[in-house]
Amino acid sequence: MIKKFIDRLLGKTSTKGKKPQFGKREEVGVAVHGIDPKLVDERALNVVRTLKNAGFEAYVVGGAVRDLMVGLAPKDFDVATNATPEQVKGLFRRAFIIGRRFRIVHVVYGRGREHEVIEVSTFRAYMDNAAAEQVAGNEKTSKSELAGMKHAVDSSGRVLRDNVWGPQEEDAVRRDFTINAMYYDPETQIVVDYHHGIKDSKNRVIRMIGDPATRYREDPVRIIRAVRFAAKLSGLGFKLEAKTAAPLVKSQELLAEVPQSRLFDEMLKLLQTGHALASIEQLKALGMARGIYPLLDVVVQRAEQAFVRAALRDTDRRVGEGKPVVASFLLACVLWADVRDGWAKRINERQHAHPALQDAIEDVFNSHIGDVSGRGKLGGDMREIWMMQPRFEKRVGSAPFGLVEQARFRAAFDFMRLRAETGEIDEVLADWWQEFSLADDNLRQDMVDQVREEQQQQQRQRAPRVHKAPAPRVSPDAAQAAPSVARDAVSDTQDDQSALSAVADATDAPKKRRRRRRSNGPRNVGEQAPDAGV
């Protein structure tokens, strides 16, 4: 109190610019943190060992340490070191420096789809944003200005460049949540903790390091990260600390200045890390169902629709089983209603089915995807999934054999299967394609032949036929009464032969067929011919 009073007398009314409390370094052994070293990825262990053998500090850091501590299997392993990006790159055969805002190194193991990336970051120094270089625009509008800067912010205080290296204690205070600011050495099995991350992990608390409103302003994407961690860890009882949650809604407006591509990536992390449904529930509970990103608004709005919910649930299941997921499939499911309705509308307007579907897809890209990823690989995959849907109706000739060989057949089939499960199409169709995709060529031909025979039989049953009307049946009593009826019906001027003819007709006697007069005019196709008279 006395110090604050003296500072005010001396005109030191603001504490801005002073270094924060970096925290006290605590080294915690396995008896307390309980991490099983066997669960550490061998490639991450190799990166740590290589850096340490070269004389640098190196630790597994971030979410992997948190997950190991609470009993979850980490999806990714990140490493932090005091080596610069250039020094890290020089130690590995396949290493690439990426990023401008934060320069990091990707160390790559394996090839193709089986490759694994270990992300290596250099300890960052604490830098007072009030002393940083300031630009008026953002990453895109101020690109030339930012080229030579190591620490820069925009007019709102958002960090645009942060590439100043420092000691581990300063790196720790730069991280967002206490449970993500722990450093694990897999060789010594020591966890280094500066901000009571172990305590918060045990108490199931998600707490921001420093002032939450300030940290959200430095990097608004932390708003989305807070929601993601709350969703991911909710099943274990984790909750956002009240002070950490309080500024979230108000801080949402800061996301307007974040590049759309970065928001798109963060949206995919919400939906593709195995907790899509939980993330949507968190957004609703926190009052953030709208306003983060336009496409995410659509996902949240449609999450209760049977087809979209089935797709979200299927995505969570696949992640839980360790199977790959792709953004194109989930987004194709979310936007299918727009494609389907636009397609149907154009067909009703007499447009041909194929171009009608193409035009409907183009409208959806323009209205919901834009230029972020809609014209790249993601957009191409979505387009193929949608364009294949009508082709599943064709199960004769060579069409099925060609379709099953398409690169996106499996994704398109899974999409069609979800449509069947939610009642949009017949499940028999999905079952047929499931069997066809797994069969050999001989069985496939038998299946196609069977479908052709069934369709031909249905056509025969539907074809119009010309029938002769059967002669009316007359009961015995009516037959006995017929002579008197016929005699009453004939005129006195008719001869006996005419009367006998009328009687014979009423009693089912063989009819004398008269020659039918031909008509010169054409008869309508399918019109039933009149019966011949007597």
Q: Which amino acid is at 163?
A: N
Among residues 358, 354, 33, which one has the least CA distance to residue 188?
Answer: 33
Of 41, 67, 78, 154, the active-site residue reads: 78
Q: How far apart are CA 47 and CA 93, in angstroms?
A: 12
- Number of neighbours of residue 32 by Cβ within 10 angstroms: 13
Q: In 148-220, which ranges are continuous DSSP H helix?
A: 168-174, 197-203, 212-218
Q: Is 52 exposed, middle or buried (0-12, 13-18, 19+ CB in 10 A)?
A: middle
Of 176, 200, 314, 381, the active-site residue reads: 176
Q: Is 206 exposed, middle or buried (0-12, 13-18, 19+ CB in 10 A)?
A: buried
**Catalytic residue status for 219:** no
**Catalytic residue status for 171:** no
Q: Three-state secondary structure along 499-519?
A: HHHHHHHHCCCCCCCCCCCCC
Structure tokens belonging to residue 355: 């171009």
Q: Are strands 95-98 and 78-81 parallel, antiparallel or unpaired?
A: unpaired
- Number of neighbours of residue 349 by Cβ within 10 angstroms: 8
Among residues 135, 127, 165, which one has the least CA distance to residue 257?
Answer: 135
**Catalytic residue status for 76:** yes
Half-sphere exposure of 166 (CA within 13 A, CB side): 15
Structure tokens belonging to residue 427: 């499940």
Output the CA torsion sign for 399, 402, 405, 406: negative
Enzyme catalytic residues: 76, 78, 176
